[in-house]
Amino acid sequence: MTLLDVTGLTVTGRHLIVDGVDLAVSAGETVGLVGESGSGKSLTARAVAGLLPKGLTATGSVTLSGLELLGARERVLRSVRGARVALLMQDPFAMLNPLCTAGVHIAESLPRSPRPPSPFPPTDPGASPFGTVPADPGASPALPQGSGAAPTRWTRATRRAEVLRRLAEVGIDDPSVADRYPFQLSGGMRQRVALAAALARDPELLIADEPTTALDATTQHEILMLLRNVQRARGMGVLLITHDLRVAFELCDRVAVMYAGRLVESGPGFDMAKVPAHPYTAGLLAALPSATVTLSRLEGIPGGVPAAGDVTGTCAFAARCGQADSECTQERPPLREIAPDRHTACLYEVRPRPRAEPRAVTPREASADETLLRIEGLRKRYGGHVALGGVSLRVGRGESVGVVGESGSGKTTLARCVLGLVTPDEGRIELAGLDLTRRARGGGQAHRLVQCVFQDPTTSLNPSLTVGSTLAEAAAQGTPEGRLSVAELLDLVGLPASYAARRPRALSGGQRQRVAIARALAVRPALLICDEPVASLDVSVQAHVLELLRTIGRELGTSLLFITHDLAVVRQITDRTVVLFRGDVVEEGETARILDAPAHDYTRRLLASVPPTP
């Protein structure tokens, strides 16, 4: 039975953004909507929920079990949101009020009065990685058994019991979590609380917009399995929006690929991963890094996503497509059926996109006199929490070392200690013979020796400065003999010299990250610390940035300390890897050896959480 039926959805503001999207989600089905940033995925979801920003209008048809939502009165939409359609967003911090406890969030989302026992079948604890969901969701004191009648209002005791039952459904069996504030919870725990609140009124459809992007691999896996189990137990429809194809193909029954405001391919995820029917899908799949083999080159799709209004009468992907011809630009290719439940908007049969060949990697083994960074017995506590419990590692000159682990393992604290942003309680940090353990440490010399590339270039670049001003300001901090011009820095990261006149808001996410890398390299540092530099980037842009970092390491001899939770990225970028668990090093060695034959149970658990590469 079709639950959500979207027909000819068009979203416009000053420009065309979404251009005639057709989409359907059945009860009990998970449909993935994938594509690069700027494709229109999130605005499609917001149009479905009636939550478009001011200045944007939607036309077409959006029906939920036959009820037309587009053009409906706000009173009707309010009765649908939460009760029949719920949203789970990327950042639970943005969804949760920092002044309210987890229990208050869920309690406020509950229906006005208790309902009879849930008609949904209980979640199978054997199918859940948590095993904490009650066998009978109707057994809560808030939902009396027997006649099926429910009390007419909540009491303090019944509301509390219902909140705890809702937490148990998302794998939280610790009652004290209900009394904690968002800042007292981990990222995964916050996302579970946000999911419990979203499900509190038993919606028919859940729209999950990038719900795992900011989470580490094991937490991401747990949240995805949780979504799958809850969805199956409830018979709920799920529309999952993501730019991670591995997540979409692992979790979704069907996948729809969106590009420049329109759908270019749709079908069962397994079939699409095996034989993509559109060049864009093939390009995204070819750009995925592998956790099992090291590729000789990481290939992203050249160019960027055009505005929907600029490509209304042509194939939107033609300018980036290696097999496009003049016919592709004559008119807009329709979304045509090529097999049962398989559709593509390409005129031709897609030629397989060649994937780079695996390469044998011989990691550098730096001798004692080639060691650039040496860390010995580093300890750091925050109150009663041990962030680092005695970490020791080294990075050789020209070597790339990965630091992996779940959130809270101490990765970022380690980086901040090396950068001098945090003072360790014990231990020693030595970089190129300079003692960096205390902040009175050679000032400008230390600044020129080590630089950092952060996860979000939007917040690390000054929005009021042009790219040229940002790079010139950074280059002025270097030594005169090693100083690079703005044009040289832009060329180093593969950007035209004309970009010097642009401001960050005029750049794509990948272009902003390239500028951030150029700024970090402006002083010619010996060590570049990369703290999750590609975690928020689309897969094609990610491939470009990773290949850039590999090239810089080879050509400039810059050492990399690469912090990430993505083991596929570690495989492609690093020579050696250090695995952190709760502030301690549990395994280290050649990256290929650790990923092919992990010796520690924790490393094996990290690898098991990585979605398979199609």
The pLDDT of residue 459 is 79
118, exposed or middle or buried, with CB in 10 Å at 0-12, 13-18, 19+? middle
23, exposed or middle or buried, with CB in 10 Å at 0-12, 13-18, 19+? buried
Q: What sign does the CA torsion over 298, 303, 309, 311 have?
A: negative
pLDDT at 443 over 70: no
Delimit the domains of the chain by residue range.
1-84+203-360, 102-199, 368-608
Closest to 433 in 3D by CA, of 481, 364, 372: 372
The pLDDT of residue 437 is 79
368-608 folds as Rossmann fold (3.40.50)
Does the fold of domain 368-608 match that of domain 1-84+203-360? Answer: yes
Specify whether the CB–CB gap between 3 and 65 falls below 8 A: yes
Q: Is the pLDDT higher at 477 or at 5?
A: 5
pLDDT at 396 over 80: yes
User: What mean pLDDT do residues 39-63 have?
Assistant: 92
Crossing angle of helices 539-556 and 279-287, rounded to 10°: 40
CATH class of 1-84+203-360: alpha beta
Beta bridge partners of 429: 375
Express each pLDDT in 211-250 by its tens digit.
877 677 788 888 888 888 888 888 999 999 988 888 898 8
Express each pLDDT in 490-538 by its tens digit.
988 888 899 999 999 888 777 888 899 999 989 889 999 998 888 878 8
Which are the contacts of 568, defined by CB distance < 8 A and separation ≥ 6? 288, 289, 290, 291, 610, 613
In percent, how much of the chain has pLDDT > 70?
89
At 244, give phi and psi (nearest 5°): -95, 105
Specify whether the CB–CB gap between 394 and 371 falls below 8 A: yes
The pLDDT of residue 364 is 53
The pLDDT of residue 353 is 62
Which band of pLDDT confidence, cut at 50, 70 and 90, is reported for residue 260?
very high
Which band of pLDDT confidence, cut at 50, 70 and 90, is reported for residue 359?
low
Express each pLDDT in 126-148 by its tens digit.
333 333 333 333 333 333 333 44
User: What mean pLDDT do residues 301-324 have?
Assistant: 91
pLDDT at 366 over 60: no
On average, the pLDDT of the chain sits at: 85
